[in-house]
Amino acid sequence: MKTSTAGRRQRIAILGSTGSIGVSTLDVIARHPDRFEVFGLTSHQRVPELVEQCLRFSPRIAVLPDRERAREARRLLAERGSRTEVLEGAQALGQLAAEPEVDAVMAAIVGAAGLPACMAAAAAGKRLLLANKEALVVGGALFMRSVAEGGATLLPIDSEHSAIFQCLPEDRGAWGERIDHIVLTASGGPFRRRAPESLHAVTPAEAVAHPNWVMGRKISVDSATMMNKALEVIEARWLFDLAPEQVRVVIHPQSIVHSMVVCRDASVLAQLGTPDMRVPIAYGLSFPERIESGASRLDFLQLQGLTFEPVDERLFPGLGLAWQALAAPAGATAALNAANEVAVESFLSGTIRFTDIHTVNARTVERLAGRHGAVSTIDDLLDIDRRARAEAHSAVAALAPR
Ligand code: NAD
Ligand code: MG
């Protein structure tokens, strides 16, 4: 159901408010108390942080999937006189996302776990700010159909996709005839200059230390393997309704050009800025207007140059899996995403090596290829997600202990 926000503040629900994107979203919101009010906040495990956010932003609702944690949050909030109601259980995320009083939902949960709540927001016709790329990688065509049928407004928060979106006209009907292809930029992460043979020894601490962005652990590892870019290729295919070959990737180590649209007439449109997620977040919140984001301005005279290089496939074998999965029957991208979530967790917990992440992903996609049934509902996709996780766990077990 759509509600008019004319003359009142937009009510925002932030799913995953204690994460990196969640915290940056609250930072932008806090700069505009006249425009936005926080309706709901959610966290997976971080009770003290969620409680502090509730005390500061006084949301109507807070959600913690776990019952014990929800109880703890209720106790802490009551002690401090807060009136925020704490809901528990994973379904409460979907309830909050579809709540009639909510105008905009920031989807900032990491992983496929965020998909059901995104689907709920889409079906309820919300303004859906999508940071949770895994949800779209898993949901694919069904996700986009739900957005269209629900009358939702899907706004990309991933910096590359926000850049592309900012380079395109507001009329989506004009996108197809305008775009020749798009170029997603990638920083190359911390290992751009490494010898491929040395990557097997990479530690979790090295992999999460990104040169240009401060982010959650999962996306940081994904940036180091460039699986993040693979997920973004799939995300772009759906967001902009492109053929897979219309999505290209180039390494741009400075992370200043956030991505580019190459038009039919060979003109190139790009969006530039300092690497700060508050810019795409502010744009998602205020679209089609623009508001202060808190990010520093780009100082062109301080730039040491903008450079571009091809992706070295020996260093980043995972990137190619994106096009491979897009060429396979629907469900392959869900399998790839699930495998990668398991592989990254296994790497972070010290069970497999950095280079094993790709082995697990490639094996899982290969083993599941063509073995699953047709995909006509989200439950079919969640089933593929479960089977791919089981396959990926066996691949992990076969690789460890090393
Ligand atoms: P993060 O790990 O910092 O935060 C994740 C949030 O999701 C936390 O609030 C956590 O409590 C919650 N969460 C985690 N697992 C959950 C589960 N199973 N159920 C419910 N809630 C859960 O991650 P992040 O870096 O903020 O990234 C969030 C999403 O945004 C990811 O999909 C990521 O790819 C995307 N993204 C992030 C950045 C960035 O700069 N951090 C940039 C582009 C896109
Ligand atoms: Mg990105």
Q: How far is the CA of 26 from the centre of ligand 2 (A)?
A: 19
Residue closest via CA to ligand 1's atom 31 equals 110
Locate the ligand 1 atom nearest the alpha carbon of residue 17 and give its number. 9
- Name the amino acid, one letter, at 191: F
The tokens describing 34, both together, are 């006249």
Ligand 1 site, residue 18, Cβ cutoff 6 A? yes
**Whose structure tokens read 């994973």?**
90
CA of 13 to the centre of ligand 1 (A): 15
Residue by residue, DSSP assigns 221-233 as HHHHHTHHHHHHH
- Residue 293: CB within 6 Å of ligand 1? no
> Residues lining ligand 2 (ion), CB within 5 A?
158-160
Q: How many Å apart are CA 347 and CA 356, to the nearest integer?
A: 8
Please state the atom number of ligand 1 nearest to the C-alpha of residue 220.
Answer: 25
Q: Is the CB of 47 under 6 A from ligand 1?
A: no
What's the CA-to-centroid distance between 159 and ligand 2, angstroms?
5
Is the C-beta atom of 136 inside 6 A of ligand 1? Answer: no
* Domains parsed from the chain with CATH numbers: 10-157 (3.40.50.720), 328-402 (1.10.1740.10)
CA of 399 to the centre of ligand 2 (A): 30
In short, whether 134's Cβ falls inside 6 Å of ligand 1 is: yes
CB 344 within 8 A of CB 105: no
- Report CA(41)–ligand 1 centroid distance (Å): 13
pLDDT at 402: 55
Residues whose CB is less than 8 angstroms from the CB of residue 56 and which lie 6 or more positions away in sequence, other chains included: none
Measured in Å, residue 44 CA sits from the centre of ligand 1 at 10
In angstroms, what is the span from residue 197 Cα to ligand 1's centroid? 31
Which residue puts its alpha carbon closest to atom 30 of ligand 1?
Answer: 131
Q: What secondary structure, in 3-state letters, does 142-179 show?
A: HHHHHHHHHCCEEEECCHHHHHHHHHCCCCHHHHHHHE
Tell me, using a 6 A CB cutoff, whether residue 162 lines ligand 1: no
Whole-number Å distance between alpha carbons of 156 and 359: 30
pLDDT at residue 400, as a whole number: 79
Residue 18 CB-density burial (10 A; 0-12 exposed, 13-18 middle, 19+ buried): buried
The reported pLDDT for the residue numbered 185 is 98
Ligand 1 pocket test, candidate residues 215, 231, 281, 385, most atoms within 8 A of CB: 215
Q: List the one residue out of 270, 241, 283, 285 whose CA is nearest residue 163.
A: 270
| DSSP per-residue codes, 21-82 | HHHHHHHHHHT-TTTEEEEEEE-SS-HHHHHHHHHHH--SEEEESSHHHHHHHHHHHHHTT-
Mean pLDDT, 10 residues at a time, over the chain (402 residues)? 74 98 98 98 97 98 98 98 96 98 98 98 98 98 98 98 97 96 97 95 94 90 98 98 98 98 98 98 98 97 95 97 96 97 98 98 91 88 96 95 63
DSSP letter at 295? P
Contact 29, 281 (CB under 8 A): no
Protein residue whose Cα sits closest to atom 18 of ligand 1: 113
Question: What residue type is assigned to position 14 of the chain?
Answer: I
Pocket test for ligand 1, best of 46, 143, 218, 219 (most atoms within 8 A of CB): 219
Residue 25 CA to ligand 1 center (angstroms) comes to 12
Q: Which ligand does the CA of 280 lie closest to? A: 1
Cβ of 340 closer than 6 Å to ligand 1, yes or no, is no
Query: Could you tell me how many helices (H) and strands (E) the chain has, helices first?
Result: 16, 11
Q: Whose CA is nearest to atom 4 of ligand 1?
A: 19
